[in-house]
Chains A and B, each alone.
Chain A
Amino acid sequence: MSWTAKSRYGPPGTVTTAAKPGPKTSVEAGGNIRVSNGLKEFLWLTTEESKQGRLLDLGAVFQSTVMFFIERGFRLSTEDMMRSWKEFLTSEEETMRKMQVGSEGARVSQGMLAGKFLDTNLQYPEDSFHGVLAWDLFDYLDAELLPRVMERLYTILRPGGAVLALFHSKTPERFNRYKIVDGQNIELIPSPTLAVHSRIFQNREILDIFGKFRSSKTFVGRDQVREAIFLK
Chain B
Amino acid sequence: MWRKTADTKNPSQSSNVPEPVTTTPKAGQNSPAPATPASPSPIAQTYTPTPAPVSTQNSGASYSSPATAGNPFASAPRASSVSVIGAGLKIQGEITGDSDLVVEGEAHGRIRMVNGRVTVAASGHVNADIEAVEISVEGLVQGGLKASDRVRLGPSSRVQGSVMTPRIAIEDGARLRGKVEMIRAGEVPAPAPKISTPVTKVSTAPAVTTPVTPTGAANANANAAKAVDAVTPAIATEADQLKSTAARGSGD
Partner of A78, one of B169, B176, B250: B176
A76–B179 contact, CB under 8 A? yes
Task: Give the shortest distance, in Å, between B196 (CB) and chain A (any CB).
Answer: 36
Partner of A123, one of B176, B237, B238, B246: B246
Q: Is A223 an interface residue (CB 8 A)?
A: no
Q: Is B207 an interface residue (CB 8 A)?
A: no
A63–B169 contact, CB under 8 A? yes
B249 proximity list for chain A (CB < 8 A): 77, 79, 123-124
The residue in chain B whose Cβ has the minimal distance to the Cβ of A73 is B182
- In the assembly, what is the distance between CA of A120 and CA of B174, in Å? 20
- In the assembly, what is the distance between CA of A84 and CA of B238, in Å? 10
Task: Give the shortest distance, in Å, between B173 (CB) and chain A (any CB).
Answer: 8
B168–A91 contact, CB under 8 A? no
B239–A78 contact, CB under 8 A? no
Q: Is A208 an interface residue (CB 8 A)?
A: no
Q: A66-B168, A124-B251 are in contact. Are A79 and B243 (CB under 8 A)?
A: no
Q: Is B177 an interface residue (CB 8 A)?
A: yes
A62 proximity list for chain B (CB < 8 A): 170, 172
B251 proximity list for chain A (CB < 8 A): 124-125, 128
Q: A62-B172, A79-B177 are in contact. Are A88 and B250 (CB under 8 A)?
A: no
Q: For chain A, which range describes its interface: under 10, 10 to 19, 20 to 34, or 35 or more residues?
A: 20 to 34
Number of CB contacts from chain A to chain B under 8 A = 68
Q: A63-B170, A88-B242 are in contact. Are A123 and B250 (CB under 8 A)?
A: yes
A83–B179 contact, CB under 8 A? no
- In the assembly, what is the distance between CA of A123 and CA of B251, in Å? 9
- In the assembly, what is the distance between CA of A79 and CA of B250, in Å? 10
Task: Give the shortest distance, in Å, between A173 (CB) and chain B (any CB).
Answer: 21
B181–A61 contact, CB under 8 A? no
- In the assembly, what is the distance between CA of A54 and CA of B176, in Å? 16
Quick one: which of A71-112 are within 8 Å of B by CB? 75-80, 83-84, 87-88, 91-92, 95
Q: Is B171 an interface residue (CB 8 A)?
A: yes
Q: A124-B251, A125-B251 are in contact. Are A61 and B246 (CB under 8 A)?
A: no
Partner of A77, one of B174, B178, B242: B178
A70–B180 contact, CB under 8 A? yes
The residue in chain A whose Cβ has the minimal distance to the Cβ of B247 is A123
B246 proximity list for chain A (CB < 8 A): 119-121, 123
Task: Give the shortest distance, in Å, between A166 (CB) and chain B (any CB).
Answer: 20
A78–B178 contact, CB under 8 A? yes
Residues of B within 8 A of A (CB): 153, 168-172, 174-182, 237-239, 242-243, 246-247, 249-251
Task: Enumerate the 8 nearest inter-chain pairs by beta-carbon distance, A residue then B residue, closest first.
Answer: A77-B179, A120-B246, A63-B170, A120-B242, A61-B176, A124-B250, A91-B238, A79-B177
Interchain residue pairs with CB less than 8 A apart (15): A54-B179, A61-B170, A62-B170, A63-B168, A66-B168, A78-B179, A78-B180, A79-B177, A88-B239, A92-B239, A119-B243, A121-B246, A123-B249, A124-B250, A125-B250
